[in-house]
Amino acid sequence: RFLDVTQAGTIATAAKQIEASHGYLNVLINNAGIALDAHQPPSQLPVMTMRQDFDVNFFGLVSVTQAMIPLLKKGAPAKIINVSSNMGSLGLASDPDSRFFQVNSLGYQASKAAVNFATIDFAKELQPDHISVNSVNPGWTRTDFGGNRSGEQTVAEGAAQIVKLAADDSPDLNMTFTETAGKLPW
């Protein structure tokens, strides 16, 4: 029952277990993520650190999604919800009035921007199969993710938009980037 998104064997095992137990999948929530940048300037951030961010945040998400597509097709209408970040928004990162304008976290930010792009591409491909794909920013939530239990909101508050999308039956809800407060710029 252990899934490491960087290990193809555990992904394949998880897909086989879901198929054996249920035969299909209705909702896939890609929530694995790391941030190893420590807010270093991009000129000083080791490429290996960025590769580690990408291995989990982007390549792991793509690998799990690809492995689960056959099960999602069997469960259609189905949905994929990718947990991204407002820090992966090119619009917010390039806006001098945004709180993210001064942020240095190249590996994390670029990997989450890549998640958003994967969301768009998978959404276009899978829409004819009645599988929607959307990105969600949960916001800064009190979890161990940031290295301590600090954050602006509870886990329930952070998960609210993810749960809302998972429960939404609208066939038109596809290819969005949202948070609890509404739509975000890609």
Q: Which residues are catalytic?
A: 108, 112
Angstrom CA distances, 74 to 19, 26, 77, 79, 130, stand at 10, 8, 9, 12, 10
135 DSSP assignment: E
Question: Which amino acid type is present at position 86?
Answer: N
28 DSSP assignment: E
Dist CA 74 CA 174 (whole Å): 19
Q: Answer positive or negative: Cα dihedral of 149, 151, 157, 158.
A: negative
Bridge partners, residue 131, by sequence: 78
Dist CA 47 CA 52 (whole Å): 9
